[in-house]
Amino acid sequence: MITEDQRAEGTMRLIYTLRSNGVTDSRILDAIERTPREFFLDRAFQDRAFDDIPLPIACGQTISQPSIVALMTQALEVTPRCKVLEVGCGSGYQAAILARLARRVYAMERHRPLVRQARARIEALALSNIQILTADGSRGWSDQAPFDRILLTAAAEDPPKELIAQLKTGGIMVLPVGQSDEMQQLIKIVKTPQGIEYQELIDVRFVPLLPNVAEDVGD
């Protein structure tokens, strides 16, 4: 268990690290400060919650590094009017940060046990503007489309066409793309009336975007 003092000290240290890594948006830093990362981790990893590193979560997946969460959120340019889709909800941490910045968040995850855990955490934090669905997110969420913003936290070889189709004109999508686990770039897509604009941001390493809902043992 983490004490209040440890949380306060850890949060200060993390915010300092994020600032040093180029996260300048005070709304994002504030959202991170108000969202306890240890809450999204198994007990065994909670004392490392404030380190700027990815950590294991259930189903062999990972919670991203906080500075990557922050930089992706910054690139997404979320405003309080935005309806956001996140593909790869995992622990629910990134979705919780988005929910503090956006009007509504729709998050998709292919592992049922992760969805159950994430829902419980989101409820405990009293974040009422998030909905989480067990489904293959590469197909998008057609009932709720179109979206102002789309964020993928799993890497595809190419931006999924169905997700681009579910992005509003003027909308922004941020995602890791790459052919392998080792070589991926974070890219930002802006859908303009004239077409799609691409911008490469930084090199990253994410788990792959996989098809279909996962068959988890004991589920």
Question: Catalytic residue numbers?
Answer: 64
| Cβ-proximal residues to 209 (8 Å cutoff; 6+ apart), any chain | 87, 88, 137, 138, 152, 154, 155, 156, 160
Q: Is position 204 an interface residue for ligand SAH (rule: CB under 6 A)?
A: no
**Residue from the set 23, 71, 98, 108 that interacts with ligand SAH by CB under 6 A:** 108
Three-class SS string for 157-188? CCCCHHHHHCEEEEEEEEEEECCCCCCEEEEE
φ, ψ for residue 8 (rounded to 5)?
A: -65, -45
| 114 lies in the binding site for ligand SAH (CB under 6 A) | yes
Binding segment for ligand SAH (CB under 6 A), chosen from 24-32, 122-130, 161-169, 203-211, is 203-211
Cα–Cα distance measured from residue 101 to residue 82, given in angstroms and rounded to the nearest whole number: 8
Q: Does 209 bind ligand SAH (CB under 6 A)?
A: yes
- Does residue number 66 form part of the binding site for ligand SAH (CB under 6 A)? no
Name the residue nearer to ligand SAH (CB basis): 29 or 193. 29
* Count of residues interacting with ligand SAH (CB under 6 A): 24
Among 37, 110, 119, 149, binds ligand SAH (CB under 6 A): 110
Full DSSP string of 49-72: TTSSS-EE-GGG-EEPPHHHHHHH
| Mask for 132-171, x = binds ligand SAH (CB under 6 A) | ----xxx--------------xx-----------------
